[in-house]
Structure 1
Amino acid sequence: MHLEVAAMSPRRILKFLPLSKSLIASACLAAPVAAYSAPTPTGTDQLIVKFDEAFVIGSSEANRLSEATGKSLRFVRQTAGGRLLFQLNENQSYKAMRGLSRAIERLAGVSYAEPDIHMATLGLPNDPLLPNYQWHYYGPDSSSAEPGGLNAVQAWEALDSSYTKTVVAILDTGSTNHSDLSINTIAGYDMISDPTNANDGDGRDSDPSDPGDNLDPNDPYGSSWHGTHVAGTVGADTNNGNGVAGVGFDRVQLMHVRVLGVGGGSYSDITDAIYWASQNGAKVINMSLGGASSCSPNSALQAAINSAVANGVSVVVSAGNSDTDTAGFTPASCSNVMNVAAVNRNGGKASYSNYGSLVDFAAPGGDGSNSIGTYVVSTHNKGTTSPGEETYSGMAGTSMAAPHVAGLVALISSENSSLTPAEIEQLIKDNARPFPATCDGCGAGIADAHLAMQAASGGTITDPEPTLQAPDAPSLLTTSVQSDGSVILTWFDVADEQKYELQVSQKARGKRWGSYGDVNMNIAADSTTLTDVPGNGTFKYRIRAANSAGSSAWTESGEVRVESNSDDGDGGSGKTKCNPKKGC
């Protein structure tokens, strides 16, 4: 990962790059290999439909659904939960029935539709590349022990049919047509504003298709198809007898938001994409991208992330691939993100992975050796400068680690939708496994899907450290004038203050008040009294509490009349001029 500053017209623009292109496996898996012998799903002829209204006439709805979909549907019965069961004339594949369910969901008055699937004892998902190539989904205690894996297979074994789907926005290079992704993909957006960078002939539009990010036909790597690979890890169609599995196990919906094109992507486009995704249904945002720059608390990117998290959206980012402190990279150094480092198959730090105090936890990223068995295998494309046939390939990088966590966050959200982003992050940290090999600066441990899902579905959740808020205003600022002309001020203490700030204003002739000036702007947090010597005149004071998150409103005192009998050095007139900032 690196930062490019490229000339575009007369201006210069910050460019972000995907975090794994240089680590693409040389061998692609053009066809499924070592197919697993689990039974192929037989499909179903029944659909379960939930309507908006509590009482509907089943036979009438059967006729309406039949006319709308072109399929002959018969009303069977109402389920115990109040949903209606309908039957087709013949058996359909699960893939076809899921497509029909989505079509029915778009009809007025329909809340949800799903196939009436046949259940059996859960075994290994029948995606043929899973057993021999997707080591990164196993864990140390699974049948295929993998010390560096996510332990997702054990988590899947405990899944039930009670869940809500979670939308994961993939801010990346866009989407390509792939049979292992299409069923879980929903509408997205192309946020690239520069047509040259976009490589699709126009600027922003509603088509997030990836036309390719490499125009050099002689480049042996060709286009990265980075977004396609990342999406497969998050939410490839699972247990469908095809290709690979995805961490989300069909509990996720993939929303591609295209931000990376030829040469990377711009900071402004990525910032806009975060707002767009969080305002259009995403509950998780994955950003496997970065640039060499520290994230400022006042930056536009940080503001976008803060807005997303405030809306209940979890933001997952890659730590970076420069084998250095992640504090020097954006968005990895931003606050309110889940910063993910990469481990290899042995559970130690991948040689390329960034590290440091800002890393939250690690996940499988592969180690980039020449063996396909050390890479993260996912969906991909055979095209070079433009899209070709779908395929599967191995890649390595923190780009591959982040979507493991994004998929896990989606699983947790599907199990317990009431959890906030901060609670989900703390849950993953609390249930992360210790590193079995050296991984200094890699956070709380290796994210463990099985342990995290156990906690999400009924275990205890450790409350995260509360976010510091600006303190409340101090109350009852009172004054007491002493005989020597000093003023004792008292107030009630407030919580979360780090200091108090005091100002004073003096009434001038004509009963006009002067501007407030500072008396003491760093009063100790545990103080509740202070003595000031303002000189002769009529004054009023105000005080506020402050901490690193901000300041409270000002609390004002009443008017204070000070008449000192001490010699003021003006010839005994008893009059003096006082500076409201410095006193007399």
Structure 2
Amino acid sequence: MGIVDSGVDIHHPDLKHNIISPGKSLVPGVSSMVDEIGHGTMAAGSIAANGNITGVSPEVGIVPYKVFQGYSADSSWIIKGIIDAANDDMDIINLSLGTYKSLKNKEDRATYLSYMRAIDYANKKGSLLVASSGTDGYDLTTPKKLAEQMGLKNDLQLHMPGGLPNVVTVSATNLNDQLAYYSNYGTNVDIAAPAGDYGPNFADQQKVELEYMTITTHPTTLPQSELSQYMGFAHGYEFMIGTSLAVPKVSATAVLIIAEYQEKYGKKPSPHVIKRYLYGGTVQGNGTTRQLGNGIVNAKNSLDLVNKR
């Protein structure tokens, strides 16, 4: 699986055996693959952690594609990462990231078309793209409506790559199987996955309840948070929330579908077939199709569907 993100801590005890290639940096002038912000390592842990915590598919091989410089990732680097991952025969490309672009801006339209071409290219190469819906609580259904929510009158905005055709777009749910307060949603959301929030008393009382959050891997090269220390965690684990942690759970389930399908039928399923099992195995959450798409991902149900054929 290709993880297009900020890099992955290749020495993390829960991940080091899953990294099958050092990967590559798509950031101009940057050759280091060190995860300097932790984002890619968090996503990787939700997919493949195999140690103190366990990801959804702990045996999967992962390859990092670095597209962040600090906390910024240029769309051209992400697009190149998608193409390179497809050329490297990555079955799944995890994109726990996203941006907004205006259809009324010439440069933004060019970026949109470049994303569309990269997505089409990856799909034709047999790679399934799984991407975040975003974390601003917006309805992505129409460019006009999205622009209005962003306070941009007379504009047309799109979220990408999540939200575009032929990408599995993922929203986030909380402990009660509801849409997380921060998660974007809309008719272009395909599926939901658990990612946590701060609990039911956060909005009114600003009270954070840890049992509503998620735990995942974090680079051992970065400082440990006070919260992690207070909880007695070993260095390299943190509490987190966000659609960035929902996406990898769907990506990991898709990898399991591929492995099960190959074992049963002796060939790799197409992205279309993977999506059929992915969506067919979902469970109903406490929300609408606009919020949760086809439902909340469920790996066991999807694998059972493969074996029922």
The TM tier, using the shorter chain, reads: 0.7 to 0.9
Distance 1:382 1:451, change over 3 A: same
Which of 27, 32, 55 is residue 192 of structure 1 equivalent to?
Answer: 27
Where in structure 2 are the equivalents of 1:30-429 lying within 5 Å? Answer: 168-176=1-9, 177-187=11-21, 188-193=23-28, 202-203=29-30, 205=31, 207-210=32-35, 212=36, 224-237=37-50, 242-250=51-59, 252-293=60-101, 299-327=113-141, 328-369=158-199, 370-381=208-219, 383-384=221-222, 390-417=235-262, 418-429=268-279
Aligned length: 263
Contact 2:192 2:293 in 1 (8 A): yes
What one-letter code is carried by the residue in structure 2 that aligns with 1:192?
V
Q: Deviations over 1:115-150 (max 9, x none)?
A: xxxxxxxxxxxxxxxxxxxxxxxxxxxxxxxxxxxx
Q: Distance in 2 between matches of 1:236 and 1:455?
A: 25
> Residue 356 of structure 1: CA displacement?
0.4
Kindly provide the amino acid, as one letter, of the partner of residue 42 in structure 2: H
Structure 1 residue matching 2:184: 3-state secondary structure = coil
- Could you list the per-position Cα deviations for residues 387-441 of structure 1 after superposition, in whole angstroms to 9, with x for gaps in the alignment? xx94111211110100000000111111113211111112221221111356743
Q: Which residue pairs with 1:91 in the alignment?
A: none
Q: Is the 8 A contact 1:361 1:444 kept in 2?
A: yes
CA RMSD of aligned residues (A): 2.1
Q: Which amino acid aligns with 1:356?
A: G
Deviation at 1:446, TM superposition (A): 0.7
Q: Aligned residue for 1:480?
A: none
Distance 2:288 2:83 in 1: 38
TM-score, reference length from structure 1: 0.43
Q: Which structure shows the bigger proportion of residues in strand conformation?
A: 1
Given the two structures, how large is their TM-score scaled by the length of structure 2? Answer: 0.80
For 2:256 and 2:280, how far apart are their aligned partners in 1? Answer: 17
Residue 7 of structure 2 aligns to which amino acid in structure 1?
G
Matching of residue 459 in structure 1 with residue 308 in structure 2: yes
| AA of the residue aligned to 2:308 | G
Contact 2:187 2:290 in 1 (8 A): no
CA deviation vs aligned residue, 1:267-324 (integer Å, no higher than 9, x gap)? 1111111111111131100001111126869611111111111111010001111111
Moved more, 438-447 or 288-297: 288-297
Native 8 Å contact 1:431 1:451 kept in 2: yes
Whether the aligned pair in 1 keeps the contact of 2:172 and 2:196 (CA below 8 Å) is: yes
- Indicate if the aligned counterparts of 2:170 and 2:247 stay in contact, CA closer than 8 A: yes
Report the Cα offset of residue 384 of structure 1.
Answer: 4.9
Structure 1 runs not aligned, ≥5 long: 1-167, 194-201, 213-223, 461-584
Q: CA deviation at 1:263?
A: 3.4
Quick one: which amino acid aligns to residue 6 of structure 2?
Answer: T
Q: For residues 424 and 226 of structure 1, what CA distance do their matches in structure 2 show? A: 26
**Contact kept in structure 1, 2:130 and 2:162, CA below 8 Å:** no
Larger RCO, structures 1/2 (Cα 8 Å, 6+ apart): 2
**C-alpha distance in structure 2 between counterparts of 1:427 and 1:324, whole Å:** 28
The answer to whether the 8 A contact 2:257-2:277 is kept is no
CA deviations over 1:531-579 (Å, ceiling 9, x no partner): xxxxxxxxxxxxxxxxxxxxxxxxxxxxxxxxxxxxxxxxxxxxxxxxx
User: Residues of 2 paired with 1:400 and 1:235: CA distance?
Assistant: 12
Identity of aligned residues (%): 30
Highest CA radius of gyration, 1 or 2? 1
SS at match of 1:285: strand
Structure 1 position 453, deviation (Å):
0.6
Asked if structure 1 preserves the Cα contact closer than 8 Å seen for 2:138 and 2:184, the reply is: yes
Structure with the largest fraction of helix: 2
Q: Is the CA contact 1:326–1:332 (under 8 Å) kept in the aligned structure 2?
A: no
